[in-house]
C-alpha cells in the first residue's frame, strides 16, 4: 500500500518545486535518444571518421551543456527573460544574418543545385541559428500577444517594430532555407493570435489567404517541388532521392513487433541521416512497434501533464509562453514522425531529445528549463 501511496504522491501537482513526472519524462526521452542515436550512428561514424564513438561523444557533450542550460533557465524567472526578449530577438536576427556572411556562415550545396545556409562556423563548432531563434521568437511573441488587445488596436511605433522584427526573422529562416522551422513558428504565432482573442472567423480567413503563398513555396521552389514528387511516389525514385524514405519504410517493416538485434538492421547501414532526422526509423528497427508505442505514450503523457500544469499557472503571461513551448514540442515531434512514415513530404526537422545535433538539443533543453520555471510550485494555483 505504501508503494501505491508513493506513486500517487508522485503524480500529485505541487508536491515538489519542479514537477517530478515531467522531469523524469524528459530525461527518459534524452536517455532513449542517447541509446538509439549511438546505435544508428556507429556505422556512419566509423565510415566517415574511423571512430564508432564520434557522434556519441559529441552528443554526450551537447547533452551535458543542454542539461546545464536546463538547470540555469529553470532558476531564472520567466518574467525576466520576457522583459529582455527584444534584445534576444535582435541578437537572434544578427545570428540569422551571419549565416550568409562568407567565412562565418557555412553553405552546403545540394545535388539539385540549391545551397543551404543554415549554420555558422566558430572554430570547430557549428551552430544553427534558426534553432535558437525558436527561443527568442517564443519569448518575444508571447509578450507581444499577451499585451495585445484586438478590440483596441493602436498601431504605435513599438507594435510596428515588433511585427517587423518577427516578420524579418521568419523571412530569414525561409531563405536559409529551413521550411520546417518556419512552419513550426507560424503555428505557434497562429496559436498566440488565437489566445489573444482575434476573432476566429477572421483568423481562418487570414490563414486561408496565406495558403496560396505556402502552395507556391512548396510547388514552385525547385528542391521542395522535387521532394513533393518523391513523396507522392518514393518507389519511383528508390535508387536515388527516394532511397531515404523507402529505407525508412523498410525499417518500420523489419522492426516488427519487438525489433531486431540492436544495430543490425538494414537502415543502420544504408539509411541517410539515420541518427538525425530519421532516427525514429532506426529506433523502430531496433525496438519494434512496441518500442514505438512506448515512445508515443511517453510523449503524449508529457503533453497532457504539461497542459494540466499550465492550466494551474497564476498569470496569463506564463500560460502564453508555456503553451507556445508545448505547441512547439508537440508539433515538432508530430511533424518528424509524419516525415519518417511518409505522411508528409521530407523536411529537415529533428526529433526532440532523440535526434543528433547540438543546436536542437540545447534549444529543447533551454525551452524545457523555461517551462520548468513557469510550472514551478510557486507559480501554480494548487
| Number of domains composing the chain | 1
Report pLDDT for 151.
Answer: 67
Report pLDDT for 108.
Answer: 65
Report pLDDT for 148.
Answer: 73
Residue 333 domain-assigned?
Answer: yes
> What pTM was estimated for this model as a whole?
0.91
Residue 324 domain-assigned?
Answer: yes
Residue 2 domain-assigned?
Answer: no
Report pLDDT for 204.
Answer: 74
State the residue range of the domain holding 362: 19-379
- Grid coordinates belonging to 355: 535526434
Residue 11 domain-assigned?
Answer: no
Report pLDDT for 219.
Answer: 60
Residue 285 domain-assigned?
Answer: yes
Mean pLDDT per 10-residue section of the chain, whose length is 382 residues: 58 78 94 92 89 93 96 95 92 90 70 66 82 93 80 74 88 82 87 79 70 64 69 78 86 88 82 87 93 95 94 90 94 93 85 92 96 91 78
Residue 6 domain-assigned?
Answer: no
Report pLDDT for 143.
Answer: 87
Report pLDDT for 62.
Answer: 95
In angstroms, the CA 343 to CA 243 distance is 16
Report pLDDT for 32.
Answer: 94
Report pLDDT for 3.
Answer: 60
Residue 5 domain-assigned?
Answer: no
Report pLDDT for 345.
Answer: 84
Residue 4 domain-assigned?
Answer: no
Amino acid at each position: 500500500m505504501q508503494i501505491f501511496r508513493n506513486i500517487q504522491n508522485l503524480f500529485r501537482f505541487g508536491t515538489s518545486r519542479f514537477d517530478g513526472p515531467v522531469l523524469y519524462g524528459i530525461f527518459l526521452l534524452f536517455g532513449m535518444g542517447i541509446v538509439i542515436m549511438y546505435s544508428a550512428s556507429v556505422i556512419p561514424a566509423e565510415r566517415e571518421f574511423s571512430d564508432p564513438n564520434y557522434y556519441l561523444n559529441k552528443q554526450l557533450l551537447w547533452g551535458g551543456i543542454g542539461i546545464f542550460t536546463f538547470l540555469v533557465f529553470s532558476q531564472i524567472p520567466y518574467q525576466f527573460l520576457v522583459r529582455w526578449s527584444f534584445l534576444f530577438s535582435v541578437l537572434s536576427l544578427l545570428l540569422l544574418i551571419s549565416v550568409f556572411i562568407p567565412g562565418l556562415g557555412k553553405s552546403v550545396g545540394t545535388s539539385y543545385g540549391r545551397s543551404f545556409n543554415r549554420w555558422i562556423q566558430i572554430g570547430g563548432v557549428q551552430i544553427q541559428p534558426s534553432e535558437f531563434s525558436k527561443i527568442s521568437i517564443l519569448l518575444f511573441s508571447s509578450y507581444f500577444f499577451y499585451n495585445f488587445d484586438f478590440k483596441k488596436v493602436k498601431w504605435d511605433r513599438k507594435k510596428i517594430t515588433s511585427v517587423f522584427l518577427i516578420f524579418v526573422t521568419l523571412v530569414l529562416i525561409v531563405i536559409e532555407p529551413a521550411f520546417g522551422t518556419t512552419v513550426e513558428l507560424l503555428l505557434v504565432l497562429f496559436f498566440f493570435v488565437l489566445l489573444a482573442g482575434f476573432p476566429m472567423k477572421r483568423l481562418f480567413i487570414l490563414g486561408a489567404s496565406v495558403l496560396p503563398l505556402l502552395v507556391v513555396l512548396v510547388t514552385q521552389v525547385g528542391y521542395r517541388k522535387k521532394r513533393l514528387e518523391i513523396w507522392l511516389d518514393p518507389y519511383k525514385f528508390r535508387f536515388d532521392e527516394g532511397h531515404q524514405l523507402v529505407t525508412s519504410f523498410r525499417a518500420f517493416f523489419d522492426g516488427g513487433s519487438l525489433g531486431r538485434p540492436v544495430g543490425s538492421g538494414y537502415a543502420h547501414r544504408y539509411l541517410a541521416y539515420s541518427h538525425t532526422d530519421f532516427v525514429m526509423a532506426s529506433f523502430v528497427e531496433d525496438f519494434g512497434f512496441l518500442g514505438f508505442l512506448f515512445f508515443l505514450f511517453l510523449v503524449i503523457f508529457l503533453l497532457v501533464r504539461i497542459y494540466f500544469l499550465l492550466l494551474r499557472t497564476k498569470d496569463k503571461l506564463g500560460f502564453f509562453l508555456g503553451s507556445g513551448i508545448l505547441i512547439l514540442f508537440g508539433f515538432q515531434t508530430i511533424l518528424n514522425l509524419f516525415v519518417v512514415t511518409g505522411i508528409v513530404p521530407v523536411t529537415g526537422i529533428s526529433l526532440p531529445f532523440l535526434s543528433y545535433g547540438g543546436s536542437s538539443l540545447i534549444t529543447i533543453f533551454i525551452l524545457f528549463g523555461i517551462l520548468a520555471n513557469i510550472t514551478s510550485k510557486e507559480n501554480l494555483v494548487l
